[in-house]
Amino acid sequence: MKNTNKLFWSFLGLTVILTSCQEQPKKENPAAIAAEAEQVIYEAPKQIISLEGADSLYINYKDRRATNIVEMEAKYQEDKKPFVPTQFVTFDIEVLQNYLNYVQQEAKTGGVQADSLRIYLGNYGITKNYKNRHNTVFLVPTAKTDDGYGGIYLDDGNAKLIRDYWKSSSEENDKEKSKASFLPNFNTRMMDNHESLILNFGSCCTNLNGDF
């Protein structure tokens, strides 16, 4: 009988210990909790268009613009090879994300808030390094400054309007000379303490992948 009671109490004690262990809450991983809390769900921008809409835009450009570009460029082709117009420009997503972060950082340091990007169309023409005359795009950050709203650059660390940069010269000839040399140099530093925030050098391609 004594052995039976002893066995009973031993079994009861073991059961209590096991039950109490099971009832203890699980310890959550702080890093996992923080990551879950910081997760952001993005909604689709209202500017997104359908595949059919994009295809229509592409066809209109090809029929109404690209054909004319080919005919015009044929006049300047010394080797008589068919000119293939640029049909899209590719920027790596990582490059764009870094660029946006950089622009917002530099604009804030310069005393403004960059709130949009202007995508300008351009053409490389014929220079020492660019002889294909392909079209391109370049991105210009815009912001509101004390002098108005528009594309910005940095002047000695302060955000200024690009259009005012062209007005800074006292003589019209100097202004035109300065303006003509602004983009062909392709240098981030324009002059002394002037710094550009313009992004270029995406990959220019023809429609080899057949998206449209």
> How much is the pLDDT for 27?
60
Neighbours of 154 (CB within 10 A): 18
Whether the predicted pLDDT of 203 surpasses 70: yes
Question: Number of C-alpha atoms within 13 angstroms, CB side, residue 148?
Answer: 6
- Please tell me whether residues 78 and 176 are part of one structural domain: no
- Please tell me whether residues 68 and 114 are part of one structural domain: no
- Please tell me whether residues 52 and 142 are part of one structural domain: no
Tell me the pLDDT tens digit for each residue of 29-69: 776 666 666 788 989 899 999 999 999 999 999 999 999 99
Give the pLDDT band (50/70/90) at residue 187: low
Average pLDDT of the residues in 80-96: 88
Judged by average pLDDT, the poorest of 12-21, 24-33, 38-47, 85-94 is 12-21
- Please tell me whether residues 100 and 140 are part of one structural domain: yes
Ramachandran category for residue 178: left, alpha or beta (phi over 0 → left; psi -120 to 50 → alpha): alpha
Average pLDDT of the residues in 161-182: 66
Residue 4 belongs to some domain of the structure: no
Give the pLDDT band (50/70/90) at residue 135: confident
- Please tell me whether residues 60 and 151 are part of one structural domain: no
Residue 172 belongs to domain spanning: 86-205
Give the pLDDT band (50/70/90) at residue 171: very low
137's tokens: 């795009």
Q: Which value, in Å, is the radius of gyration of the alpha carbons in the chain?
A: 31
Residue 54 belongs to some domain of the structure: yes
- Please tell me whether residues 74 and 120 are part of one structural domain: no
Helix (DSSP H) and strand (DSSP E) numbers for the chain: 7, 8
- Please tell me whether residues 122 and 195 are part of one structural domain: yes
Tell me the pLDDT tens digit for each residue of 149-163: 999 999 999 999 999
Q: Please give the backbone phi and psi of residue 38, each rounded to the nearest 5 degrees, phi first.
A: -85, -5
- Please tell me whether residues 164 and 119 are part of one structural domain: yes
Question: CA 177 to CA 212: how far, in whole Å?
Answer: 42
